[in-house]
Structure 1
Amino acid sequence: MVGKGKFWSVLFITIMLILSGCSGSAVSNSKSNSSGEKDTIKIGVILSSTGTFAPLAESIKNGFNLYLEENDNKLGGKKVEIKFEDDEANPQVALRKYRQLVKNEKVDILVGPISSAVAYALRDEVEKDKIILIDANAAGNDLSWSKKSDYIYRLSFSNWQNGSSAGEYLAKNVGKTAVAIAPDYPAGKEVVSAFKEAFEAAGGKVVKEIYPKLGTNDFATYLTDVAQVKPELVFTFMAGSDGIRFVQQYNDFGLKGKIPLSGPMEFGDQLILEPTGEAAEGIISGILYSPWLENEENKKFVEAYQEKYGKLPNTFSVGGYDSAKVIDIAIKEAGSTNAEDLIKVLKGISFDSPRGPITIDPKTNNPIQNFYIAKNTKKDNQIVPEVLETVEKVTMPEKAPAN
């Protein structure tokens, strides 16, 4: 026979094990359904909400929130908890915010950032932690080339796409010589490089490249250079508040109407058109989106955005909206929030966007999408990017072009 002391010891241990198992099940069920999948997902959004890129961050956030509102605050049928963080366009700040979201908040999916420098800083951490990052804006080419990751999927555009889309049209229809101006940081150099490649392949020649500091307030020195060179056109990439100042000063300097101004999608976007008004009239750009694009998705999106925010959406609003939409579709198709399951779905995923049809190219994790050559035209007392030509299915090269 078993001794009384030993009997009670065994009984006590057995009861504790049973209670421990029940307790574990209760905790698990509060977070997951019967299949082990979470009923609520956490999403961390890292954007540059202060500084030059603040207007972009606000638009991305607005678009993302609109999609959530339209879908009962659910993505993939699951309730969403969302946490927004400001990276200040600083890679070190971004890394700190990333760790807070991933290590402390235990988010399931990340969205953002705006700055490519921030995206490059986060890339290895995302890869190590095996967490999906939906890139709502950062356009650095290497995210699709040497720094491509199975955990990062771009929903915006690459600098290669943004710079190259209008190059051929400008060379054939506007002028053969160009001065290119962009901020002295990676995105500026990449956009100009892509424009130069496309422009010169079509018979044009970039006669001078100018790189002012990001955040420049006074462009007079650079505009003087343009006036002295006398190119047949100027191609300029400027984002956020820099773009607004440049367009206004180009007009004030007396170059508008003398030397045609052109640029990538930013110069046909509402973020620049609304504050610059008639100063932006006549600019030709390769746009990605316009509230005036004629498709059913865009009509519904513009109406909903105006009702919620009292203004027209812009390219970055659509970037936020589509980032939420692709998460929604991917979770539904994968039947899971697990990163490895989502990867299988995100590669090659297609959907209709307010900007047109989108497919994530599995070779680059970058969207295949339409660009539109547009000229800013005054209609009904506002400046509207009038579409002159559609460049269909603009696809980023699988590898960096040889220079």
Structure 2
Amino acid sequence: MHRRRFLTTAAAGIAGGLAPAVARAQAPIKIGVLLPFSKAFAVLGDNTLAGFTLGAREVGPEVAGRKYTIVKEDDTADPSVGVSKVRKLIDKDEVDVIVGTIHSGVAAAIRNPIVEARRLWLNPIATNDLLAEQGCSRYHFRFSASGWQSSAPMAPWAKRKAGERAYLCAFNFAFGQQTAAHFRKAFEAAGGKVVGESFPPFGTTNYAPYFPAIKDAQPHVVFANFAGPDAVAFVKQFAEFGLSPGVKIVAPSNLVSEDVLPAQGPAAVGIYSNSYYTPSHDIPKNRWFLKACREQVGKEADHFLCAGYDVAQALFGALRETKGDASSGERLAKVIEGMTIDSPRGRLRFDPKNHNPIQDVHMRVVQASPLRHVVVDILKDVAHPDTGACKL
């Protein structure tokens, strides 16, 4: 073959071989967002996405020179729907990263498909303890709190502040059952006594059948764990039945979160809750966050927006570090594992043993005029206990 023709042919072959690789390198990063956008948890999904959107707007349409696109799916807070939707995101949409979800049952159901596909999984809210213990994964990071963090640290605090007799009333699924069990263990370890328990099903609208048992047990404190419309119904009916203010309620943040507090109204006053985020927490990052939520996404800040925003901070920070390379979930995970995030909640970092957050927990009480949470105590650097079950 003539030398010039050979060089021309070889160059064309090399260029042809490189073209698909270049095209792939320049393709947008695909971010799959799996949240409940309908039914009972729709507001929670919308707020979490709004927080993520706020973080994405800080970055702009590109990160490290690469465009990104968001593919949304609605899991409806149903585990079977969640599995179907996450498989679509992975197999059909070929997303690089999964952001989700809210419901603990959905989180447990989607765990295996995500981990088997080796996708980075940023979990904004779901508290299922499985994901910090035997079901942990190097690809998974939680941005809210485990079931243990949402309940156990407040138990000795509640005994000191409210009394030694407790009643447990929570959702009849993983989040409710796990948090109630953790509260029981910690309350009894502090010298308290659990005098009864009830587990109403998800979607309960009438709690009146459960209140006589609470009244007869004569507790000083009720540990309650509900969210969305269930939380509104429980809090209002609890007050109407006449159990408060004589019996104090302590709860994870979702019972009286900002999305339900206006509907609960005066019935919520005096309820204690714990949370990683409180809108009234006066630090510079949170002052900016409150204003940005109102002006940029039209929302009042809450812990769902905070978690969504911090997911965006972690994801885009990791992508900057990898120069826009989203091809390795393991590489992205390694970057996030070493991060300390300047969050509206305060400092956020991840436990290298289980990828659960290490963070301060706010003990708050609902006050009137205006109706809001006020921090009354801060439990520093709360981490999920190392049970030895997690093997990253």
Aligned to 1:152: 140
TM score, norm. by length of structure 1: 0.90
Q: Residues 129 and 310 (structure 1 numbering): CA distance in 2 closer, same or farther, change over 3 Å? A: closer
Whether contact under 8 Å (1:172, 1:202) holds in the other structure is: no
Q: What secondary structure does 2:48 align onto?
A: helix
Give the unaligned 5+ runs of structure 1. Answer: 1-6, 33-37
1:44 is the counterpart of 2:32 = yes
Offset of residue 179 of structure 1: 0.6
2:19 maps to which of 26, 29, 35: 26
Q: Is the 8 A contact 1:76 1:327 kept in 2?
A: no
Contact (CA 8 Å) 1:49, 1:88: kept in 2 or not? yes
Change (3 A) 1:311 1:89: closer
Secondary structure (helix, strand or coil) at the match of 1:222 reads helix
8 Å contact kept, 1:75–1:324: no
Determine which structure has more spread, i.e. the larger CA radius of gyration: 1
User: In structure 1, how many angstroms separate the alpha carbons of the residues matched to 2:333 and 2:297?
Assistant: 33
Deviations 1:179-226 (A, max 9, x none): 110011111110111111222222211111110111101000111211
Q: What value does the CA root-mean-square deviation take over the aligned residues?
A: 2.2
Mapping 1:1-400, distance limit 5 Å: 19=12, 21-32=14-25, 38=26, 40-75=28-63, 78-335=66-323, 336-337=325-326, 338-379=328-369, 382-399=370-387
- Is the partner of 1:207 in helix, strand or coil? strand
1:391 counterpart letter in structure 2? L
Q: In the superposition, relative to structure 1, how do residues 16 and 210 fare at CA in structure 2: closer, same or farther (>3 Å)?
A: farther
8 A contact 2:274–2:364 mirrored in 1: yes
Q: Distance in 2 between matches of 1:125 and 1:12?
A: 50
TM-score when normalising by structure 2: 0.92
Change (3 A) 1:271 1:195: same
**Structure 1, residues 47-79: CA drift from partner, whole Å, max 9, x if none?**
111222212101101100111112213445532
| Residue correspondences, number | 386
Q: Structure 1, residues 90-142: CA drift from partner, whole Å, max 9, x if none?
A: 22222221222112211111100112222222222222211111011111001
Between the aligned partners of 1:295 and 1:75, the Cα distance in structure 2 is: 28
Asked whether the 8 Å contact 2:38–2:76 carries over to 1, the reply is: yes
**Residue type of the alignment partner of 1:369:** Q
**1:371 to 1:29, Cα distance in 2 relative to 1, 3 A:** same
Aligned to 1:35: none
In 1, are the aligned partners of 2:137 and 2:354 still within 8 Å (CA)?
Answer: no
What does the per-residue CA deviation read over 1:252-276, in whole Å, with 9 as the maximum and x for residues that have no partner? 2222222112211223421221221
Contact 1:76–1:330 (8 Å) recurs in 2: no
* Corresponding residue number in structure 2 for 1:4: none
User: What is the percentage of aligned positions where both structures have the same residue?
Assistant: 32
What is the SS of the residue equivalent to 2:223? strand
1:340 maps to amino acid = E
